Amino acid sequence: MITAIDAMPEINFEANNPFYVAFTKNKLEGKVTDVPIFISLASWLHGLNTTLGQSFFENVAHILCDGEKREYTSKKLGNLPITKTQQDTITQIINDLSTSSKLPNLEEENKKLLQNDNSPKVKAEDFSADVFFENSDSVVAIELKTVKPNSGGMKGEKQKILEGKAALFHLFPNKTIYFYFGFPFDPTVNPETESVTSYDKTRFLNSIVNAHKFCAQNEFLVAGELWDFLSGETGAMENILEIINTIATPDFFGKMQLLKNNSKRTTPEYLSQLQEWNLFSEKELIENNNHIITKLSNNNFIRTYNKMIFDKDGKYNWERYNILQNLI
């Protein structure tokens, strides 16, 4: 039986967010006396939180694992079928966990849930996976959580994942189904004494109301563990933070303006800036600039060549790159 935890540690999610610090540290140093306190109080960081949660983490995750977002909802890809027996099994699992009559056990729950039966089919509830990729023998779905679930929220999150696993089991009948919670960092880490990429799963679960009731430790990926899993390499989170720290400097906008200036493309400083910002695709084009110019045989290629390397949203123009790369 699981007993309730009376005293929950107070975790400042923003102040302990290493991605916040990486994006803002260089801008704030020398202007405020304590960066973490400023981060926890500054209301304007709410916008950064929205950006990180809704696009940055997802986009980086998709790049690392070559994945995508999948939404099996009535408004997107449609609700998937599960069996009535699976639906009843989900209800029983949730009831057992809610009353603490059973501990969360991923293997046992999967054994009960992921099996074929002859009961009638029903529609699964809406569910989505922020990160989704399919291997030759498995399917991996991850629900990214960028804030701590509210009181009572873990029950609903766990039920959604159970529904998702049951539905994916039928959609991909010959593959092993994995569905994880994913947390980009561990807010319980003390950055003064611990690595910001480290994690403590027991402490982390205890910091979220009822998380220990509904979630087994092998059911979620957090901090460095998550990013290593997505990339298939160790040290991925460290590399991400290093890239952010390299780019998010006080002279960011000046460097961005340099790269937007087409007349500077062949200068050493332009090439150096591409190297500093890890823009190796564009560096490849610049190093083959003379050869590309000889292939600009029609106006369409010329117009593509003369486009800026970033679009209006500041994203690298991959369409332009792909066209020009084919001329090399």
pLDDT tens, residue by residue, 275-306: 999 999 999 999 999 999 999 988 889 999 99
DSSP 46-62: HHHHHHIIIIIHHHHHH
Report H helices in 207-308.
Answer: 211-214, 224-231, 236-247, 252-260, 268-276, 280-287, 289-294, 299-305
Q: How far apart are CA 303 and CA 305, in angstroms?
A: 5
Residue 11 domain-assigned (yes or no): no
Question: Using CA of residue 135, residue 228, residue 216, residue 150, what is the dihedral sign?
Answer: negative
**160 and 97 belong to one structural domain:** yes
DSSP 316: B
Confidence band for 18, pLDDT divided at 50, 70 and 90:
confident
Residue 73 domain-assigned (yes or no): yes
**87 and 187 belong to one structural domain:** yes
pTM of structure:
0.79
**261 and 211 belong to one structural domain:** no
C-alpha distances in Å from residue 325, one per residue of 123, 273, 279, 286, 291: 46, 20, 14, 10, 11
- Taking alpha carbons only, the member of 41, 76, 166 closest to residue 115 is 166
**124 and 181 belong to one structural domain:** yes
Q: In the structure encoding, which two tokens stand for residue 88, read together?
A: 């009843």
Cβ-based burial of 142 (10 A; exposed 0-12, middle 13-18, buried ≥19):
buried
Residue 312 domain-assigned (yes or no): yes
The region of weakest confidence among 30-44, 228-242, 284-298, 314-328 is: 30-44
Confidence band for 238, pLDDT divided at 50, 70 and 90:
very high
Q: In the structure encoding, which two tokens stand for residue 145, read together?
A: 């959580």
Residue 116 domain-assigned (yes or no): yes
Range of the domain at 114: 67-230
- Under a CB-based contact definition with an 8 Å cutoff, are residues 127 and 166 in contact? no
Residue 243 domain-assigned (yes or no): no
Confidence band for 120, pLDDT divided at 50, 70 and 90:
very high
Q: In the structure encoding, which two tokens stand for residue 275, read together?
A: 């190297």
Residue 283 domain-assigned (yes or no): yes
SS3 29: strand
**258 and 314 belong to one structural domain:** yes
**216 and 135 belong to one structural domain:** yes
From 230, 265, 290, give the residue that closes a domain.
230
Confidence band for 313, pLDDT divided at 50, 70 and 90:
confident
What's the pLDDT score for residue 248? Answer: 84
What's the pLDDT score for residue 22? Answer: 77
**211 and 278 belong to one structural domain:** no
Those residues with Cβ within 8 angstroms of residue 157's Cβ, 6 or more apart along the chain or in another chain: 143, 145, 149, 181, 214
Confidence band for 27, pLDDT divided at 50, 70 and 90:
low
Question: Could you give the number of structural domains in the chain?
Answer: 2
The strand pairing partners of 122, in sequence order, are: 82
CA 167 to chain centre: 22
Residue 87 domain-assigned (yes or no): yes
